[in-house]
A and B are shown apart, each in its own frame.
Chain A
Amino acid sequence: MNWDWGVVADFMPYFWSGLLTTLQALAWGTLIAFSLGLVWAIAVRGPAFVRWPVLGFTEFVRNTPLLVQLFFLFFVLPEWGPTVPVMVAGAIGLGLHYSTYTMEVYRAGIEAVPVGQWEAAHALSMSPRRTWQSVILPQAFRRSVPALGNYVIAMLKETPLIATIGLMEMLGEARAFGTETFRFMEPYTVVGIAFVLVAYPASLLIRALERRLATH
């Protein structure tokens, strides 16, 4: 089979739509993963009745496949509640799953803040909320950025899973296009290159950020 630029041109409209879906799911997933992970990380430092349920839940989520979680969110959950749009289910699935990883990143970042910082805030009578906000989280966040960035890239590479619940991201579009036209080489190649074109600059950005944070 020969490479056919005409096929590439035919695929491009589908590709753009798929790319947009991928980036949207990634953006929402990242937002959810970053904020929910932070909530988990702070919650596990709370009282036992908060700590243990959170630890149990996150451990469960981390140790079950993302695919199963996506199926659950999209096919099982609506049996009890309202049907959620597929983008919402996809973003929540990705975000929730990765929040259990970002949680560990934040936890490590928080634990790396020296105990003297807590004591200094305490000595200045800062409230717990103020201590987190002004002292602990800014320092923990700084240490967390590189590892968080790596999870964004990992999440990007897992976005094709959302096609299984019908959310047409890049790879889903490529497969649909292939099934229709019997041309797989061009769409899959385009999508493969697109992943590299998104992921590689992103990882460069993370490394630059890492260097910047390290020097300051």
Chain B
Amino acid sequence: MDTPQSTPQDDPARPAGDATTPEAVPGAGDGRREDGPELIRFQDVTKRFGELTVLDDLCFSVYPRKHVTLIGPSGSGKTTILRLLMTLVKPDEGTITVDGEHLTHEERHGKLVPAGEKHVREVRKKIGMVFQQFNLFPNMKVLRNVTEAPVHVLGLSKDEAEARARDLIELVGLTEHIDKYPTQLSGGQQQRVAIARALAMRPKVLLLDEVTSALDPELVAGVLDVLRDVAHSTEITMLCVTHEMSFARDISDCVMMFDKGRIVEAAPPEQLFGDPRHQRTRDFLRSVQ
């Protein structure tokens, strides 16, 4: 590590909660008391791919209604964090809880046992994700992309799901494209549909993984505007990986700087961008400018 570890607060492997607790992050407000317990909690989470330790004893929490942004160099493990939450990969060590429920284990007869597929699906309903490559279903029109899961997973009636979808499609500004197939849309429009599709499940937390990285530069602003809108007009919690620093500054309550699978520092955007404490953060910010 090239970061000083003199005080506990500077230690990247600090205990659970510190990264985004109100104490550590004044900008996040009186989160703990106002918003109840944490929505996402990583405790001593380690993830390895073969020899490579991608996440190293990671601890952090995200509180309800907060918008937390992950920044850091490529390969530092940001995507892996989102994929762990999505149960697309499993942690090697440590526990992850979402809204108080274990992601990888469930309680049966008072004992924690490895989670069954059903439990995982239930917990995952609280989480929505938007991918870098949109991943819309090309065999469905825009409207059905947004209604498919609400109908078949949440059990909404077709009418309810369509009403919900139309509202969301309007929110992302695509009402006139509702009857098109994804391939008939630009990348930016597809990504906006993907945002609507994720929101249609009414998740408590929205995961965003470099959602503008695959877009032509002129299409980035439209998608970020939609996300700003979502961040400011809804109660949704966001965990967001991005290289768009001005966007991070706009929407974040807390920015976490990652390097080599550890949190280098976590702070409100004004502080992290304005007066970063660590050389590693300063170097990174200079490199992305």
Q: Give chain A's interface residues, CB within 8 Å of chain B.
A: 114, 116-117, 119-120, 122-127, 130, 134-135, 138-139, 142, 216
Contacts and interface: CB of A to CB of B under 8 A. Distances in A.
Contact of A125 (B88, B135, B138, B201): B201
Contacts of A125: 121-122, 124-125, 149, 153, 201
Nearest to B129: A123
Contacts of A138: 139
A134 B201 CA distance: 17
B139 A124 contact: no
A126 to B, nearest CB: 6
Contacts of B201: 124-125
A126 B152 contact: yes
Interface in B85-102: 86-88
Instruction: Tell me whether chain B's interface is mostly helix, strand or loop, or mixed.
Output: loop
Given A116-B131, A134-B152, A123 B198 contact: yes
A135 B182 CA distance: 14
A216 B152 CA distance: 26
Contact of B148 (A114, A116, A119, A134): A134
B64 interface: no
Nearest 6 pairs between A and B by C-beta?
A: A124-B149, A120-B135, A116-B135, A123-B129, A138-B139, A125-B121
B138 A124 contact: no
B139 A126 contact: no
Nearest to B82: A123
A130 B129 CA distance: 18
Given A116-B131, A124-B197, A127-B121, A139 B149 contact: no
B17 interface: no
A123 B133 contact: no
Nearest to B123: A125
B79 to A, nearest CB: 12
A133 to B, nearest CB: 9
A123 B86 contact: yes
Interface of B: 86-88, 121-122, 124-125, 127-129, 131, 133, 135-140, 148-149, 152-153, 181, 197-198, 201
A120 B136 contact: yes
Nearest to A139: B139
A117 B121 CA distance: 17
A28 B113 CA distance: 48
A139 B138 contact: yes
A123 B145 CA distance: 13
A189 to B, nearest CB: 46
Given A122-B88, A126-B149, A142 B135 contact: no
B135 A119 contact: yes
A167 B140 CA distance: 44
28 contacts: A114-B135, A116-B131, A116-B135, A117-B137, A119-B131, A120-B137, A122-B86, A122-B88, A123-B124, A123-B127, A123-B128, A123-B131, A124-B148, A124-B198, A125-B122, A125-B153, A125-B201, A126-B148, A126-B152, A126-B153, A127-B121, A127-B152, A127-B153, A134-B148, A135-B139, A139-B139, A142-B139, A216-B181
Contact of A124 (B133, B153, B181): B153
A134 to B, nearest CB: 6
Given A123-B86, A124-B201, 19 more contacts: A116-B135, A117-B137, A120-B131, A122-B124, A123-B128, A124-B198, A125-B124, A125-B125, A125-B153, A126-B149, A126-B153, A127-B121, A127-B153, A130-B152, A134-B148, A135-B137, A138-B139, A139-B139, A142-B139
A116 B133 contact: yes
A139 B183 CA distance: 14
A139 B140 CA distance: 10
A214 to B, nearest CB: 12
Contacts of A117: 135, 137
